[in-house]
A and B are shown apart, each in its own frame.
Chain A
Amino acid sequence: AQTVTQSQPEMSVQEAETVTLSCTYDTSESDYYLFWYKQPPSRQMILVIRQEAYKQQNATENRFSVNFQKAAKSFSLKISDSQLGDAAMYFCASSYGNTGKLIFGQGTTLQVKP
């Protein structure tokens, strides 16, 4: 079974600084996908970034980047130049197979201080 673990329930960062959110996962599959989702107070789930496990290159989307360590089963999210609008709960998730069950971690609440 797939599991996803986020060990940081809460994090805070100063505006314009950089913060890294941690995530580890466990799977016996060789082909899988990893995601980071953002959930603001509106509770709408917003895709931040995704990574295919077969790709060695780390994904990047503007100020968001990941550090994908396949052997260590680690998938951390780095947010650069943090903005007040980045304050939200962030979820790490993984999926595999045709059914595509998306399994989530418990989430990390990010506070951005002005």
Chain B
Amino acid sequence: SQTIHQWPATLVQPVGSPLSLECTVEGTSNPNLYWYRQAAGRGLQLLFYSVGIGQISSEVPQNLSASRPQDRQFILSSKKLLLSDSGFYLCAWRAGHSPNYGYTFGSGTRLTVV
């Protein structure tokens, strides 16, 4: 069966520090991968998505970047965090060739920038 792992679960970082959030998927190959951010009590904003290794599409220009060094690994990074980067970050995957199978989400990372 397929599983998705996302870590860390909680992170408190000072302004100006770097960030690295990691997401890995098991039990499938060539998944579509997504990073979302959710502000408190709000909807999910799509940040980045990837349909293959090294292929990254950005939806919202901002202080963050994403990379996909391996087929089932998706990393969200920042060189210098801003207060506005605080939020709940969710990774998700979907079978690339089967849009009707739905999307599976990781358990999320709560990031607080202080």
Place the interface of chain B in its size category: 20 to 34
CA distance A102 to B59 in the complex (A): 12
B49 near A99 with CB under 8 A, answer yes
B44 near A44 with CB under 8 A, answer no
Please name the residue on chain B nearest to A50 by beta carbon. B102
Find B92's partner among A89, A102, A103 (CB 8 Å cutoff): A102
A44 near B107 with CB under 8 A, answer yes
B102 near A47 with CB under 8 A, answer yes
Please, which residues of chain A bring their CB within 8 A of the CB of B92? 45, 102
Which segment of A11-19, A63-71, A74-82, A104-112 sits at the interface?
A104-112
Residue with the greatest number of chain A CB neighbours at <10 A, chosen from B32, B43, B59:
B43
Please, which residues of chain A bring their CB within 8 A of the CB of B41? 89, 107, 109
Please, which residues of chain B bring their CB within 8 A of the CB of A96? 99
A43 near B88 with CB under 8 A, answer yes
Please, which residues of chain A bring their CB within 8 A of the CB of B74? none
B49 near A106 with CB under 8 A, answer no
Shortest 4 CB-CB contacts between residues of A and residues of B: A45-B105, A106-B43, A104-B44, A104-B43
The residues of B with any CB-CB pair to A shorter than 8 Å are 32, 34, 36, 38, 41-46, 49, 51, 57, 59, 88, 90, 92, 94, 96, 99-100, 102-105, 107-108
12 contacts between A and B (CB under 8 A): A44-B108, A47-B102, A52-B100, A91-B44, A96-B99, A99-B49, A100-B99, A100-B103, A103-B46, A105-B43, A106-B42, A109-B41
